[in-house]
Amino acid sequence: MFTHGIVSSALFIVVGMIYLRHNTRLIYYYQGLYHIYPVMASFFFIFILGNFGFPGTGGFIGEFLILLSLFQKDFFIGVISIISIFFSAIYSLLLYTRVFFGINLQNPIINYSCNPSLTFLEFMVLLFFGFFSIQTGIFPGIYLSFLERLVVSLI
């Protein structure tokens, strides 16, 4: 839940940054934004990886622990969960490629003359979320030991 809160919040923030710059929510109009926002696209890719539980991100630790407990409880539900993770990965990567890659750079609706760089505050916010997304995937013991003490005290 902790890493989901980090990753989903970061994805909403990046989508909000793009929306504020271009004032449209239609994915079709956003093709080719990687050429305009390479830093934002890189952060968005890290958050997409965390969204579907790629190894090295905090999402992987959460997905792994959930799948481990599901397979111990019911094998069939574990298999269904793996299939849903697979479809989530496909959806997330399709979203990323459709928004940031493509050949639609001459779209009249998108304002390509806007400031392509991130502001310092935007960069620091994305760096904060990116750091915790990667840090929870590489060093999960910090958070798991803290949560273990909380759960044991509740039991």
pLDDT tens string, the chain, 155 residues long: the values are 888 899 999 999 999 998 888 777 777 777 777 878 889 999 999 999 999 889 988 888 888 888 999 999 999 999 999 999 999 999 999 888 888 887 655 555 555 556 567 888 999 999 999 999 999 889 888 888 888 888 888 88
Residue that has been written with the tokens 């929870």 in this structure: 136
Confidence at residue 99, expressed as pLDDT on a 0 to 100 scale: 84
pLDDT for 59 equals 86
Q: Write down the pLDDT at residue 129.
A: 94
State how far the Cα of 41 lies from the Cα of 131, in Å rounded to an integer: 16
Between the CA of residue 135 and those of 23, 109, 119, 138, 141, what are the distances in Å?
A: 33, 38, 24, 5, 10
| The pLDDT of residue 3 | 87
Residue 108 is predicted with a pLDDT of 55
Q: Where are the domains of the chain?
A: 2-154
Q: What is the pLDDT of residue 112?
A: 56
Please give the distance of CA 118 from its chain centroid, rounded to a whole number: 18
pLDDT of residue 125: 94
pLDDT, position 19: 87
Predicted pLDDT at 147: 80
Query: Do 126 and 14 form a contact (C-beta atoms < 8 A)?
Result: yes
Provide the pLDDT for residue 75: 92
CA distances from 16 to 11, 102, 122 (A): 9, 21, 11
What distance in Å separates the CA atoms of residue 38 and residue 7, rounded to the nearest whole number? 19
CB atoms within 10 A of CB 108: 7
Q: And the tokens for 29?
A: 């109009």
State the number of CA atoms in the 13 A half-sphere of 115 facing the CB. Answer: 7
